[in-house]
Amino acid sequence: MKIVSNPHRGGQKLIEAAPYPSTNAGRVADLLKKCPAAAETPLLSIDGLADVGALWVKDERGRMNLGSFKALGAAYVIARHAADRSESPNETTLTGRTYVTASAGNHGISVAAGARIFGANAVVYIADTVPESFADRLRAQNAQVVRQGADYAASMEAASKAAEDNDWILLSDSSWEGYYDLPHTLMEGYLQMAAEACNQCPQVPSHIMLQAGVGGLAGAVAAYVRTVWGDAPQIIVVEPDAAPALQASIEAGACVFADGPDSVMGRLDCKEPSLIALNGLARDADSFLTLSDEQVTEHLPAMASAGIATTASGGAGVAAVMNPDVRKSLGIDPNARVLCFLSETAE
């Protein structure tokens, strides 16, 4: 476990060329009103898992029947494109358009589902290590699946080349130098989750735990929370100690590659942060926490018994507040009111 206090909190941009995350939740809500599958997910009050006054868990497992908060990401970008093309988008609005990405999880499902709904094509590159069961889930959404590369980075390189060679639209859930517009819109979609949570919380939380891979969820939620609750909540970003990309970048004052072994928190096992998320979290987060695989997996059975079964990635924030050493180090006392996000369903 390692905790780093954020020396950049409220200061200047860390990455000058990159934007901050959007906070325009109203734009997202207006578009989602047109979606039959869009429905509010619950905020659960969980007793007995941690010695705190209140533990609230925003449960994203049922989001749009796709199993994770990622349903609000890539699919939102594609819906936005459809809406921009037509005032009444329908299933044929984007016929002939192809979206391509690399994925080892829920982002690919969101791309595939969004493309299917609006009549576009989806091509998803997956690494050699990705289970065939995930490939089958993508195909069930009418996506073309291409296996290429030993790891995610190699698959993304292949997807980027395919986009360039075929004039396809590369739709990543991360951002890097020169690639900001689509991931900025994608992160904007996550604001629906943040806005719902802010409306559902009976009181202002004292602490908010946000698990992060490239940082999209954490960056979007933190930016919106600051517009609603100001400086009142302490915002803590949780990463695997095998992939402390955000923590290491905050310490360095620049985007850095944080290499390490593979983590069981696979969705969070990202070695380089999204620049948009890094900008936002450098401004908005108070602390950056890393946990080992064991420090997360040891709490998964208790989460399941409490009715919030999830993966190590989906429950990293809850696991953090369940850890007595984390609570002591962060000043989370028995009167604390803690908000967490259960980001995906159990596999």
pLDDT band at 37 (very low <50, low <70, confident <90, very high): confident
Q: Are 283 and 8 in contact (CB under 8 A)?
A: yes
- In angstroms, rounded to a whole number, what is the distance separating the alpha carbons of residues 106 and 111? 9
User: Residue 248 — very low, low, confident or very high, per pLDDT cuts 50/70/90?
Assistant: very high
Determine the pLDDT at residue 226: 98
Backbone conformation region of residue 48, classed left if phi is above 0, alpha if psi is from -120 to 50, else beta? left
Contact indicator for 289, 317 with CB cutoff of 8 Å: no
Q: Which two tokens stand for residue 317?
A: 């924030």
* Residue 115 DSSP SS3: helix
pLDDT for the residue 213: 93
How many Å apart are CA 331 and CA 322, to the nearest integer? 13
Q: What pLDDT, on the 0 to 100 scale, is given for residue 16?
A: 95
pLDDT of residue 266: 87
**147 bridge partner residues:** 126
pLDDT-derived band at 22 (thresholds 50, 70, 90) equals very high
Give the strands of the sheet with 207-211, arranged side by side. Answer: 2-5, 287-291, 234-240, 207-211, 337-342, 54-59, 43-45
Strand partners, 210: 237
Under 8 Å CB-to-CB from 150, ≥6 apart: which residues? 127, 128, 129
- Residue 277: the pLDDT is 98
Query: pLDDT tens for residues 180-226?
Result: 999 999 999 999 999 999 999 999 999 999 999 999 999 999 999 99
Q: Residue 89 pLDDT > 80, yes or no?
A: no
Q: Please give the model's pTM, rounded to 2 decimal places.
A: 0.95
Q: Residue 90: its pLDDT value, please?
A: 56
d(CA 110, CA 77): 10
CB-based burial of residue 96 (10 Å sphere; 0-12 exposed, 13-18 middle, 19+ buried)? exposed
**pLDDT cut 70: percent of the chain above it:** 98
Measured CA to CA, the distance from residue 224 to residue 220 in angstroms comes to 6
Residue 182, phi then psi, degrees to nearest 5: -70, -45
Beta strands in 129-188 (DSSP E): 144-147, 169-170
Specify whether the CB–CB gap between 290 and 240 falls below 8 A.
Answer: yes
Sign of CA dihedral 287, 18, 164, 161: negative
pLDDT-wise least confident of 15-19, 66-70, 280-284? 66-70
Residue 171: pLDDT band (50, 70, 90) is very high
